[in-house]
Amino acid sequence: MESSAEVLYVELISSEEALKKLLDEVSVEVGSEVVRLLSSVGRHSFRDYVSTVDVPPFSRSAVDGFAAIFADIVGASEGSPALLRVTGSVDVDSVEVPTINRSEAVKVSTGAPLPRGADVVIPIEYCKVLEDRVYVYRSYPRYANISFKGEDLRVGDIIVRRGTKLRPWHVAALKASGYEEVEVFRKVRVSIVSTGSELVKGVLPNYTLPLVASYIAELGGEVALTDVVPDSIEDIATAVEKALELSDVVVVTGGTSVGDRDLSPRALESLGRSKKVFHGVRVRPGRTCGAYVVDGKLVLLVSGLPVATYVSLELFLKPLVYKLYSSKPEPKPTVRGRLTRRLPNEPGFRSFYRAVACIEGDEVLIVPLRLTGSGVLSTLVRGNAVVEVPEDSEGYEEGTEIVATLVNPLVECSSIKLPI
């Protein structure tokens, strides 16, 4: 068996390749559950939904005004209004729909069914009523101010595709079709195995566990099980086995490096039926990240240092969870700004720097934080932006205009306490 040290330094691969291999190897499928429509927002639809109705269900007025026949109002103007006889009114809840004939008009509310025979609606502000007559002071094109039956949605139109993360408008469209329940993917179950004798003994607080657990919750997953085990191949293996029973994905924190106590890869190898996908990626921080597949499920090994862990979760856990939901990660908010100091890059590595993106006058400045260690939690707390330097770049010079990902709102540069 190869030692993890050899593996790590021989087989460092790019994060793109690592992700591709990982997504190819994982074969677990996530089932569905039925939830009430009003609880469905943020969940991923398990199937396509089509409209069962025409929206609008009938042709209707798009404004408050008078429905008329186009031929009767064509050419009407301030100086030469059309004069029509008002024969009735129709409202949004009217069941009887009147018919109009030449030279007639019917008063209509927004949303009211269009009188039979009408082919234009004149907004009320261009009409003046005198007893049972109405003066129309403006002409409109034929069909103006009418919403036609099915113009919004037609029976059979797809309103939600499988995998779609449901947003408020999807919920509304489902409601319009009379759906009161939705079949969504059940939440992906992720377990966390924290390794580290220092954590078991309480020498150090285990703050990576809540970091990962919160990350899973934000991602729309469910934490199935958490366990904290000492640096022992057997204990790690036993915890991973238990976690695999209850989960779709297992995240193991700690023990992924090349020290004597970095036993996570060896524990995974000891399971016998595990397949190594990769160990060691050209990413900083997060170089020691590894992935095994067991029973078709991902076991992701992350360093345990908080920033490195966060980067690994972003690069590997998030795309996998979205894939399990037949979906794609949401776009991230970004900001374009001027870099205030040089960001170097180790050739061949994809690097992530934390920074403060701040507004100074008309300009956005991107101020990299000084401390960049993979364990430096405070940079996540103090920063609001992440700058990625791609593998093929030697870094960015001071003054370069770059695009950063925003993780918290922009701040005023004057509010930053220096040095940062």
Report the site for a copy of itself in 116-155 (rule: CB under 8 A).
124-125, 147, 151-153
CB of 160 to a copy of itself, least distance (A): 7
257 part of the interface to a copy of itself, by CB under 8 A: yes
Distance CA 248, CA 238 (A): 17
Q: Choose, by CB under 8 A, the member of 102, 332, 341, 342 that binds a copy of itself.
A: 332
Taking CB under 8 A as the rule, which mask of x and - marks residues 70-109 in contact with a copy of itself?
---------------------xxx-x-------------x
Nearer to a copy of itself (CB atom), residue 79 or residue 168: 168
Member of 373, 397, 398, 399 binding a copy of itself (CB under 8 A): 373
Number of DSSP helices (H) and strands (E) in the chain, helices first: 11, 27
- Kindly state the helix (H) or strand (E) to which residue 62 belongs, with its residue range: none
> 304, 305, 281, 283: which is closest to 291 by C-alpha?
281
With CB under 8 A as the contact rule, the residue among 69, 100, 159, 386 that binds a copy of itself is: 159
Q: Which two tokens stand for residue 176?
A: 């319009």
Alpha-carbon distance of 142 to 150, in angstroms, equals: 18
What tokens does 358 get?
């701040």
Where are the strands (E) in 248-321, listed by range? 249-253, 275-279, 283-284, 290-294, 297-302
Part of the chain binding a copy of itself (CB under 8 A), chosen from 19-27, 51-59, 128-136, 240-248: 51-59
- Is residue 414 a contact point for a copy of itself (CB under 8 A)? no
DSSP state letters, 349-411: -EEEEEEEEEEETTEEEEEE-S---TT-HHHHHH--EEEEE-TT--EE-TT-EEEEEESS--E
Q: Which of 383, 391, 378 has its CA nearest to residue 410?
A: 383
Of the two residues 151 and 401, which places its CB atom closer to a copy of itself in the complex? Answer: 151
Give yes or no for residue 344 binding a copy of itself (CB under 8 A). no
Q: Kindly indicate which of the ranges 76-84, 267-275, 376-384, 389-397 contains the residues binding a copy of itself, using the contact rule CB under 8 A.
A: 376-384
Which is it for the CA torsion 203, 207, 212, 213, positive or negative?
positive
Tell me how far, at minimum, the Cβ of 116 lies from a copy of itself, in Å. Answer: 18
Q: Which of 225, 294, 380, 416 binds a copy of itself (CB under 8 A)?
A: 380
Shortest Å distance, C-beta 112 to a copy of itself: 9
Contact call for residue 377 and a copy of itself (CB under 8 A): yes
Which residue among 110, 232, 238, 393 contacts a copy of itself (CB under 8 A)? 110
The span of 66-74, 241-249, 294-302, 403-411 binding a copy of itself (CB under 8 A) equals 403-411
Among 62, 97, 365, 402, binds a copy of itself (CB under 8 A): 62
Q: Could you give phi then psi for residue 144, rounded to 5 degrees?
A: -65, 145
Interface with a copy of itself, residue 12, by CB under 8 A: no
Confirm or reject binding of residue 183 to a copy of itself (CB under 8 A): no
Burial 101-112 (b: 16+ CB within 10 A, else e): eeebbbbbbbeb
CA-CA distance, 2 to 5, in Å (whole number)? 8
Q: Does 333 engage in binding with a copy of itself (CB under 8 A)?
A: yes
Which CB, 293 or 358, lies closer to a copy of itself? 358
37 binds a copy of itself (CB under 8 A): yes
CB 366 within 8 A of CB 402: yes
